[in-house]
Amino acid sequence: MTGELSPIDKAKFVAAKRAVEFVEDGMRVGLGTGSTAAWMVRCLGEMVREDGLKIRGVPTSTRTAELAREVGIEVITLDEAGWLDVTIDGADEFDGKLNLIKGGGGALLQEKIVATASDQMIVIADVGKEVETLGAFPLPIEVIPFGWQTTKLLVEELLINMDVLGREVTQRMKGDEPFVTDEGNFILDLHLGRIGNPHQLSMVLNQMPGVVENGLFIDICDIVVLGYGDGRVETRDINEGTVEEDRLDFAESDNLFSDMLD
C-alpha cells in the first residue's frame, strides 16, 4: 500500500506511526484534526484492534470523532476525561521554538482547549511545515457571526501596529457559503506573511470582542515528530533539548489506509 503513497503522505504516515509510540495503555488521549492527524487516529485504531491497547480518546472535531469511532477507539468528551495524558495533533506551521500556527482545518478552538488540558502535546508534521518565522500560512481566527464584518475591520486596524508583513483579512468559505465551525462560528484568515512577535499578536487578538480564539499555539507544544518521504523520522523534545533520528520501514502489504488514497 505504501508504495502508492506520495512522499508527503509517506512523511505524514511515518510521523504518525512514531508519535503513537508515546501512547500507553489506559491513557486519555487528545485526538487532533486534519489530514496528518487522521493518519495518527488510524494508527491508534490499529493498535486498539490488533494489540489490545486500551485508551479513551477526546476528539477535537466531529469528523475526528467519527473517524475514531470507525477505527475502534472509545470516544469521550473532555468533561468526562477531566484531564488528558497526551494530545497528538498536526500543525500548519511550526518554528524552532515549537510555536505553531493551527486551524487550517477550522478546528482551532477545540484543538487549543484540548491541547492545553494535556500533560503533553505532540505535534506530527512533514518536513515542509517547518519555518524560520511563523506567518507564511494564513493565521486563522475564530469569530462569532454577530457583527463579524465589524470584527474584521477592527482586526485590520489592529494589524497596522503589529510586526507583520501583510494585513489582508479574508473570510473562509466552503463553496459559496461561509465556513462554519463546530461551534457555529466563522473563520477569518489573516494573510500576514511574517509574524515578528507571535506572543503579542496572540494576546491582542484574543482581547478583541468578537474574536473567540486565534490559531497561534504559543508554548503549548512539547514534542514535534517530523516525517520525511523516505521513511526518516526526527523527534525533537523542546523540554529535554534532544533530537532523535530514526527510519521506519513500510509494510507493503498493509492496507489499513487504502481508503485514504481515494
What are the residue numbers of the active site? 111
The annotation status of 181 as a binding-site residue, yes or no, is no
- Burial of 57 by CB count in 10 Å (0-12 exposed, 13-18 middle, 19+ buried)? buried
The annotation status of 10 as a binding-site residue, yes or no, is no
Q: What is the separation of C-alpha 69 from the centre of its chain, rounded to a whole number of angstroms?
A: 19
The annotation status of 6 as a binding-site residue, yes or no, is no
The annotation status of 79 as a binding-site residue, yes or no, is no
The annotation status of 253 as a binding-site residue, yes or no, is no
The annotation status of 222 as a binding-site residue, yes or no, is no
- Listed in sequence order, the residues at least 6 apart from 117 whose beta carbon sits closer than 8 Å to its beta carbon are 30, 78, 81, 83, 84
> 124 has which bridge partners?
225
The annotation status of 12 as a binding-site residue, yes or no, is no
The annotation status of 258 as a binding-site residue, yes or no, is no
> 31 has which bridge partners?
59, 88
Alpha-carbon span 150 to 194, nearest angstrom: 24
Per DSSP (E only), the strands in 91-241 are: 93-94, 100-101, 121-126, 139-143, 168-171, 173-174, 177-178, 186-191, 211-214, 216-217, 223-227, 232-237
The annotation status of 237 as a binding-site residue, yes or no, is no
Residue 7 carries which side chain, given as an amino acid letter?
P
The annotation status of 54 as a binding-site residue, yes or no, is no
* Annotated binding-site ranges: 33-36, 89-92, 102-105, 129
* Annotated binding-site ranges for substrate: 33-36, 89-92, 102-105, 129
